[in-house]
Amino acid sequence: MNMNMTTTSAETTHGIRYLWHFVVRIGKVTIGGFTQDPNIRAGSIMVGILLIVGLLAPLISPHNPYQQDLMQSLNPPSWKHPFGTDLYGRDVFSRVIYGAWIAIKICVIGVGIAFVAGNIAGALAGYYGGWIDTIIMRIVDSIMAFPFLVLVIAIMAIFGPGLGNLYFAIAVVSWCQYARIARSKYISEKEADYVMAAKSVGFPDKRIIFGHVMPNAIAPTVVYASLDCALVILLAASLSFIGVGAQPPVPEWGAQIAEGRQLLQVAWWVATFPALGIMYTVIGCSILGDGLRDRLVS
């Protein structure tokens, strides 16, 4: 038993070490590309600003995003309220800042779960093939047979609106594309010389899959994840806009646009600034994804 525990611990250590090397590689690519690739430079700056604003929202927000003051309803942009106030007198600037934090959580949780689940499923399907590949890919085909937005809305209708269910719905639908990408990469990598060498010395499959192949096969899914963040933010905003995502008074950008759509002629700022936040984030993630794709995959 002790020998088995030691072997398992060693395999886990090797896997963590190889994945850490890949994380370091991503960091070096990003840092190196910061001085050489204009896409990585621009995307990193834009995404970095978003992260700083979102993480420091409680510190830099001048007002409580939930505090109502009907006496200040629909005030135009001013020094006190740079983005004006909404129908309930809440500071739009503060709500947009807190919306950045929600956008970060949507990316980290929704895309993160899909990324991990999709990579594991794709690794098993691509490496082993056979009936495992057939079962996993038929599940993937069944999910992808439905229109993406329709399936997410159906899941939200079953479990109810709210951010928690929104994260879950995005993850359930999004992991399929990661599985497809990872599977194709594992199929091409499992016949490589280094995999044959690892098998010849008796390394177990778990160590080969997660310790040797994954650091080389994970790059395309990392690139897709950076681009998927933009799509997920748009999806979350769309769901909140139609009322099945984040619910008022949560300061999510799509929900803010929904609240301000009836006020465009009298208070354009209520919907405009959250929309600009979505546009800024999508452009930043897309540019960064293009840069990482050029340096990691090409």
Q: How far is residue 133 from each of residues 180, 183, 187, measured CA to CA in Å? A: 11, 9, 11
Which DSSP string do the residues of 242-259 spell out, in sequence order? TTSSS-TTS--HHHHHHH
In eight-state DSSP terms, residue 75 is P
**Domains (ranges, CATH) in the chain?**
2-296 (1.10.3720.10)
pLDDT average per 10 residues of sequence, the chain (298 residues): 47 56 57 68 90 92 92 92 93 95 90 91 90 93 88 88 87 91 89 84 82 81 88 90 87 92 91 95 91 76
Give pLDDT, residue 172: 87
Supply the Cα-derived Rg of the chain in whole angstroms: 22
**Long-range CB contacts for residues 30-34, cutoff 8 Å, separation at least 24:** 30/292, 32/295, 33/291, 33/292, 33/295
Q: Are 287 and 39 in contact (CB under 8 A)?
A: yes
Give pLDDT, residue 31: 58
* Residue burial 126-162, b: 16+ Cβ < 10 Å; e: rest: bbeeeeebeebbeebeebeeeebeebbbebbeeeebe
For residue 91, the cross-strand partners are 85
In eight-state DSSP terms, residue 263 is G
Give pLDDT, residue 295: 77
Nearest CA to 275 among 286, 264, 266, 265? 264
Give pLDDT, residue 182: 92
Give pLDDT, residue 4: 47
For residue 13, the cross-strand partners are none
Residue 197 half-sphere exposure, CB side, CA atoms within 13 Å? 5
Alpha carbons 276 and 283: distance in angstroms, whole number: 10
